[in-house]
Structure formats: C-alpha cells, structure tokens
Amino acid sequence: MHDFIVGMAGSGGDGIVSAGESLIGAALAEGYYGILTKSFGSQIRGGESSCRLRLATQPVLNPGGTLDVAVVLNWEDFRRFGGELPVDARTLVIYEAKTKVEPTALPLGGVTPAAAVAVPMEQMALQSAGAQLAKNNVVLGLLAAWFGLPRERILAGIRKKFARKGEAVLAGNERAFAAGFEYAERTPLPAARRLAPAVPAAGPMQLTDGNELCARAALFAGCRFFGGYPITPATEIMQHLQRDIWKHGGSLLQAEDEIAGVGAAVGASFAGKKAMTATSGPGFSLKAEMLGLASVAELPLVCVDVQRGGPSTGMPTKREQSDLFAAVFSAHGDTVRPVLAPTTVADTFEVTVEAFNLAEEYQTPVIVLSDQELAQRKEIVPAIDPARFRVVDRRVPAGEELKDYRRFRFTDTGVSPLSHPGLPGGNYLAAGIEHDESGAPTANGEMHARMNDKRLHKFAPLQERRDLFVLEGEPDAAIGLISWGSVAGIALEALRQARAEGIEIKLLVPKLLYPVAVPVYRDFFAGLDRCYVVEQSHQGQLHRLIRMWADVPPEFGVLAKSGANPISPEEIVAQIRAMTRARAAAVRRH
C-alpha cells in the first residue's frame, strides 16, 4: 500500500490519541507523509475519543475517506463517531475480544467489512505490563507487525515517552508492544497488506498543527501583544504564544473574558504594537463590538476564529465552516473587514502572516477563519522557509505630516498615516464615534458619508489579489468546483480523481473570502455552465455570499453538510459525474 488509513476509537484513558501520535511521530522519522486527526466527546472529563491516521509515500491533501483498518476498543464509543470513522466492504476491523461480539454480528449498521479479527488486547496488556492502560501499545505492536509500520521508530517513540516514568513503567510498555507484535506474527491476517517503504522528502520535514503554525507565524510577522481567553479549539494558539512571545519582547494577557481580551488587543494596537486575539464561534460573537471599534478607529488587528460546530456552545470538538456569515456581517454600520482562510496546516503560516500584513497595510481588523480540523490535526509538512514571506509594517507619519497631523486625513488610497502615543506631534483622538479628519466627533451627514467611503474604498486593491486564490484543473473547462478551508483538500483530491477519469473540470480555492473578489470570480465563471460550491455548513454560506456579489453560472449549486458529517472525496466525485452527465444531456437536447 502507498496510502493507508487507520481509525481507532475507545474510552477516555484508553490512550487512543496517544497511540495515533506515536504512529505519526514514527512515520515522520521514517520519511512518510501523514495527517492525524483527533476527535473527542464534548465532556469536560472522560468520554469517548478517536483518531484517524493517514500515512502515505507521497504528500496527502486530507485525512481521507473510508478506513483501511478500524481498531475498536469499545463498540459504543466507536459508533458515537459515525461518519468520522467510515467502514465499508474494504475495511479490516480489529476489535477487543472482551466485547464478546461475533465477527459475523458486528454492530456496524448493516455494513459487512472485508474481515473482522477479535484480539484480547486488554488481557495481553495486563499479562505483559500489569496494567490495562498499556493496551494502546499492544495496538501499536499489532499494527506494526500486520501492516509493516516502522517497528524500531515506534519503539523509539515509546522509550522517549516513558523514559521519565521509571524503568518499570518503560519496560512494561515495551513488553506490551512486543506482545502485540508477536501475536500478529503468530496470527496472520486473511489478506496480507503492507505499507510500501517510505521515499524521504528532499528537504527537512516537521510534524505540527495549525494552531502552532498560527502562533509561530504571528511572531514572525511581528506580533508583540496577544489578548485572549481560553476556548476550544483555539486555546493552543495562546499557549504557544505564552511560551515564546516574551522572547521577542512581547507580552500576553489571558483576560477575564473574551471582550476584555480583544479590548486589550485593540489598546495595544493603538499604542503602536502589532496585536492579535484568537477565539472560536461563541467568543467571536462577544468580540463583535470591539472589532467595530477597531474598524472605525482604523486600527490594525488580527482576530483568529477557529471554527467549531454552532450555534451557541454547539459542538466544541467538531469541525464546521459556519462562522463565515458572522465574520463578514457581524458588524453594525457599513463595515467591511477582510476575511481570510487557510486550506492546510502548512498554509496556516502563510495566511496568518498575510493577515498581519493586510491589517497593517489597510489599518483594519482582519479575520482569519481556521477550523477545528486544521487547528488541531497533526500533519507532516515541509519545514517553513521564512525567506519566502514579506512582512509589512504600518505607515507612520513623519516630517511635514506631523506639522498639522490629521489622523484620518483623506488620501487617494483611503489609508492615512497612523501615529501612536508619545510620537511628537502625533497626538489624536481615537474613539468609536464618527469623526472628521482630525478625529473630532461629528454628526455631519456629509462627513459621515465621506468617512464611510474612505473606510470602504481602501479595500479596492484587495479585490484584485489573484495570489490569494488557488486555481487547479483545465482553464477552459465547462464545469467547476469552489471550496475553502479544510474542505479544499478534499475537493482537490476529488478533482484529481475526476481528471484521471477523463473529466475536464477546474477548481477555485479562495483564501480571501471577503471582500468578494468579483474580478477573480468573473474570470473563473467565464465559460462555465455548471459549478458547485463544496463546504461544511448547513446553509452553504460561501455559496450564498458569492451569489450576493458575482454573476454566477446558470447551474450554480452547493454540496453542504453540517459539522461532524464529513464530506468525502467520493461524494464530490459523484457530484462531478452527475454534472458531467447533465451537461452532456443538455448538449444533446440542443
């Protein structure tokens, strides 16, 4: 096998996620590519947990579809994850013998897998390590032997993990791994499958996640203040910054609530520092008023929203793309603010740097819409090369501009030099009330209209930024796809499958979601008579947003699902085939 997907589920404390992390760490050391996604119940403590790991000899775009192997420690826990761990007739199921389920009567909703193997994993853990908690290492031994996973790399990871817990604990977990390995060697599978040897990448690779790269990108871009409040699944951004921001002369405030966190960030920006806050949907709702203050005061600010299922508390541990409307429209008055979205873990670095650049260039809050999968999935990616990226700083007044300094002076670009406290001659009033060029409050209708025009006009060049879009496929194709965020990788894999079938199609992936880049969509839609938007939201929010601004093809549909109902490449390919048949039938009729 050159592409291998294993999914595992069990109860809290079974070490399922730990086992997945051990495997992907070993895969990195061996030279494989991989993506590890983790999923948990919404309980504060305990509950079910799962992970799915995709390993491959070539770069992968998403966590994949149907499992090649399903490892079940508890059937009730496995069923709770539903479509997140899909099983079909190609899947091998390995399950805990203690559950006493017959291989011919697996509770899989009528699905009959390729084979099912009951293994006494808990019993082996107790006999080898003296603790049932070691059964995750029994699982690692089984997988290593049955599927040719890197045995010595996995053992090295186990030794590193347990070295600080004493000789006895380490030795017990090594014995648990050996017990699983030896059991698999004694018990061959009905149909042997082995992972092909790795082909190491040309350059250095790293194992990381979106939240970590977001924090690293912020520091690289010059962020020197973070104000926020812990919230799943964005908390790790604050944790990474808390560890490192002081090394760069910055500071971090874990505030008493979401409003105070963003308020402190707005204040830091006013004081002349690049500032950031991060949250998820419920916190983003609370930040809306302060983001409006940053908009009218024209202060740079980056706000990361790691989307999860909503509304309200929603599903804290599940991915969704349903905050797009909130990012675009949750501001009263005629307010426009850029909204960006990364599409991969590695892309999170580039998009975060770009968010800081746009905030500084246009003196505006910028929203970054990450999501739970991108933020928390572990991925083997090329090491980041900082030389690829530019860093933009705000335009500070100097010379003649400070003799009669007008903070909100009307300019050709709509952007005015931005002072900070302590700059001689640069004092000004920054308030949430409408103002004139000097910052003095005004209720003059004509001045209000001119200021609205200033604040909106400055984004005109942004709508021409074609580098913030990815275009794949045949430029002259008559059918197309649009997708964004973490779902874009699934759409791209579907596109490549469809092209391998001889279907001409193209895909547009926007990293700039708002303001809507009408010229880019106009060019993409030219010649299209059918197009679908693929996204993880119940309403199809990007689909609706594009319709508001752009002239769309005659058949402009949407493939949309609520969070925790993953979209698979196979579903998208089926939709592409349907579009192809419909177009062929229409051509025959005419």
In this structure, of 184-198, 345-359, 463-477, the range with the lowest mean pLDDT score is: 184-198
pLDDT above 90 (res 14): no
State the average pLDDT over residues 42-53.
78
What was the pLDDT predicted at 43? 64
For residue range 536-588, what is the model confidence (pLDDT) as tens digits? Answer: 999 999 999 999 999 999 999 999 999 888 899 999 999 999 999 999 998 88
What was the pLDDT predicted at 235? 97
What was the pLDDT predicted at 415? 97
Instruction: Give yes or no for a contact between 403 and 232, defined as CB atoms under 8 angstroms apart.
Output: no
More confident residue, 41 or 568: 568
Instruction: Give yes or no for a contact between 79 and 50, defined as CB atoms under 8 angstroms apart.
Output: no
For residue range 491-540, what is the model confidence (pLDDT) as tens digits? Answer: 999 999 999 999 999 999 999 999 999 999 999 999 999 999 999 999 99
In this structure, of 41-45, 113-117, 245-249, the range with the lowest mean pLDDT score is: 41-45
pLDDT above 90 (res 42): no
The CA-atom distances, in angstroms, between 289 and each of 136, 258, 293, 313, 475 are 47, 11, 6, 20, 42
For residue range 390-417, what is the model confidence (pLDDT) as tens digits? Answer: 999 999 999 999 999 999 999 999 999 9
Cis ω before 566 (30° cut-off from 0): no
What was the pLDDT predicted at 589? 85
Q: How far apart are CA 539 and CA 321, in angstroms?
A: 10
State the average pLDDT over residues 225-251.
97
* Edge-first strand listing for the sheet containing 479-483: 469-473, 506-510, 479-483, 530-535, 555-560
- Please state the CATH superfamily assignment of the domain spanning residues 3-186 in this structure: Pyruvate-ferredoxin oxidoreductase, PFOR, domain III (3.40.920.10)
Per DSSP, the residues of 340-367 read E--SSHHHHHHHHHHHHHHHHHHTSEEE
Region(s) of the chain under CATH 3.40.920.10: 3-186
Amino acid occupying residue 204: P
Q: How far apart are CA 66 and CA 91, in angstroms?
A: 8
Architecture of domain 464-589: 3-Layer(aba) Sandwich (3.40)
| Structure tokens that stand for 282 in this block | 């419920």
State the average pLDDT over residues 404-432.
96
Average predicted confidence (pLDDT) for the chain:
95
Region(s) of the chain under CATH 3.40.50.920: 464-589
What was the pLDDT predicted at 202? 86
State the average pLDDT over residues 143-168.
93
Q: In this structure, how many other beta carbons lie within 10 angstroms of the beta carbon of residue 75?
A: 16
What was the pLDDT predicted at 83? 82
pLDDT above 80 (res 144): yes
Bridge partners of 469? 510
Region(s) of the chain under CATH 3.40.50.970: 208-382
Q: What is the CATH number of domain 208-382?
A: 3.40.50.970
Instruction: Give yes or no for a contact between 232 and 317, defined as CB atoms under 8 angstroms apart.
Output: yes
The CA-atom distances, in angstroms, between 7 and each of 70, 144, 485 are 5, 15, 23
State the average pLDDT over residues 362-375.
97
b/e map of 494-527 (b: 16 or more CB within 10 Å)? bbbebbeeebebbbbbbbbbbbbbeebbeebbee
- 3-class SS at 253? strand
What was the pLDDT predicted at 48? 85
pLDDT above 80 (res 41): no
More confident residue, 44 or 491: 491
Residues in the chain: 590
For residue range 453-496, what is the model confidence (pLDDT) as tens digits? Answer: 999 999 999 999 999 999 999 999 999 999 999 999 999 999 99
pLDDT above 90 (res 216): yes
For residue range 242-298, what is the model confidence (pLDDT) as tens digits? Answer: 999 999 999 999 999 999 999 999 999 999 999 999 999 999 999 999 999 999 999
> pLDDT class for 46, splitting at 50, 70, 90?
low
What was the pLDDT predicted at 467? 97
More confident residue, 40 or 205: 205
Q: In this structure, how many other beta carbons lie within 10 angstroms of the beta carbon of residue 447?
A: 15
b/e map of 87-122 (b: 16 or more CB within 10 Å)? beeebbbbbbeebebeeeebebeeeebbebbbbebb
